[in-house]
Structure 1
Amino acid sequence: MGVRVLVATEIRLYRDGVAEALRRFDDVELVVTAATGAAAVLAGKRAECDVVLLDMVLGDSTDTVVSLLTARPNLKVVALGVPEDGPELVACAEAGIAGYISRDASLAEVGDALRAAVRGEAPLSGLVAAGLLRHIALGASMGRIDTAAQQLTPREREVSQLLRTGMTNRQIARALDLQLSTVKNHVHNVLAKSGVTGRTQIQI
């Protein structure tokens, strides 16, 4: 059985052009199109598609992903035109996107990405992968810091809060009316309990 594809984008010229090109692939059995998120959800339910190529410029694109996957949990959705780093990228991943493809991709690359998604792979560029890894690393770092905050003494929490504002040890000492040596000890304890190696990581 060939691949069954739903192409969803509000730009008719692009929608029709991609659909026509995909129909020329020998392993593509069916191509249907949709111009809105609501139409994509309806088509996804009716057409029994394997994979959706979803243009993320649609105003309700993230909600569309959630609705599609709620109705068809095994459906694969490949996002088209997502910035390679930023909140939109993360929002797509959290919604359940199976892969990403650039607007600069060739038709052959689009076909390869859709096939990869159907196979259970995650088609994405190196830049997209790097952006997602940075987000995961940041989340892990913040999680460690939040967990560590529960282990800090009241005074260490005060020092930690001032560290996050970018204050120097001397500025913290003046703000809390402490000796500089005492502040240095508190900073050392905060860093050690937070599992970080430098104060800039506390300031994230």
Structure 2
Amino acid sequence: MIGRMKPLWSTDAPTDSAVEAVDVEPTREPIRLLIVDDQELFRRGLAMVLAGEPDLLLTGEASDGETAVEMVIRSAPDVVLLDVRMPKMSGIDTCVAIKTAAPSTRIIMLTASDDEADLYDAVKGGASGYMLKDASIDEVAHAVRLVADGQSLISPAMATKLLDEFKQMSRPERSSVIAPRLTERELDVLRLVARGCNNREIGSELFISENTVKNHVRNILEKLQLHSRMQAVMYAVRERLLDLP
């Protein structure tokens, strides 16, 4: 014999003992994500895996910077995963263009480049995160969520590299070294490096070739006995070799 089914609701007023407070958590909109990378296999593989994350919504893929900027304007993603080294328009230039067109869009550079100069340029260009491509899927998804929440992130490997840079620059024996004399042209180049300019931009500003810029940078590093552009900028600021705006 089938028992009598209990009604799903009742028109009778509930007693006080039957009333319970229920906290209903508001449903959060998924994070809209755009992936930009010229390597199709990597881009599509990453898109397929991240599409399985319930709180991420893939709005599209782009293989170059120009297309990426157009897609940002059209689809308004919350976060863009962007490679540094790309044809037509570099990742850094794309980052600047995206931030100009859509300032609220957050950008994570996801790249194979562990060059601290690329990290420096990316941060100057408006990126909120910098991760290497050897990161796990969980790490990438976590980074997207952090950046979407307004936080910034640098991959552990790059953070360690930056700390090593600062440690080297803060060695006591460094401060006792008399700063070698840089030429006016070398100081001009160093000022532009400190502003985040790449070799092409420096050459355009100073009306010299990119090769000449590279020679000046190499001479600066040799004179200061340093190994990277970032170290040169940090050293120059500390020793007051140049005035930054």
Regarding TM over 0.5, the answer is yes
1:32 aligns with 2:87: no
Distance 1:111 1:42 in 2: 24
Matched residue, 1:57 = 85
Which of residues 87, 100, 105 in structure 2 aligns to 1:75? Answer: 105
Distance 2:142 2:61 in 1: 19
- Answer yes or no: is the 8 Å Cα contact 1:49–1:75 preserved in 2: yes
Amino acid at match of 1:118: A
Deviation (angstroms), 1:161: 4.8
Can you give the 5+ residue segments of structure 1 that lack an aligned partner in the other structure? 146-158, 167-193
Deviation (angstroms), 1:129: 2.7
Deviation (angstroms), 1:131: 4.3
**Distance change >3 Å, CA 79–CA 165, structure 1 → 2:** closer
1:12 aligns with 2:40: yes
**Distance change >3 Å, CA 124–CA 165, structure 1 → 2:** closer
Larger radius of gyration: 2
- Answer yes or no: is the 8 Å Cα contact 1:82–1:100 preserved in 2: no
Can you give the 5+ residue segments of structure 2 that lack an aligned partner in the other structure? 1-28, 183-221, 225-236
The percentage of counterpart residues that share the same residue type is 29
**Distance change >3 Å, CA 139–CA 36, structure 1 → 2:** farther
Distance 2:147 2:34 in 1: 13
Structure 2 SS opposite 1:83: coil
**Distance change >3 Å, CA 25–CA 94, structure 1 → 2:** same
Distance 1:195 1:101 in 2: 28
Q: Output the TM-score relative to the length of structure 1.
A: 0.64
Amino acid at match of 1:124: I
Deviation (angstroms), 1:86: 2.4
Amino acid at match of 2:106: K
Distance 1:136 1:74 in 2: 31
Q: Name the structure where helix makes up a greater proportion of residues.
A: 1
Superposed CA offset, 1:75-102 (max 9, x none) = 1110011534521111111111100111
- Answer yes or no: is the 8 Å Cα contact 1:37–1:58 preserved in 2: yes
Superposed CA offset, 1:24-75 (max 9, x none) = 1110133310010000000111111000000112142111000000011011
Distance 2:121 2:136 in 1: 25
The alignment covers a number of residue pairs equal to 154
- Answer yes or no: is the 8 Å Cα contact 1:66–1:96 preserved in 2: yes
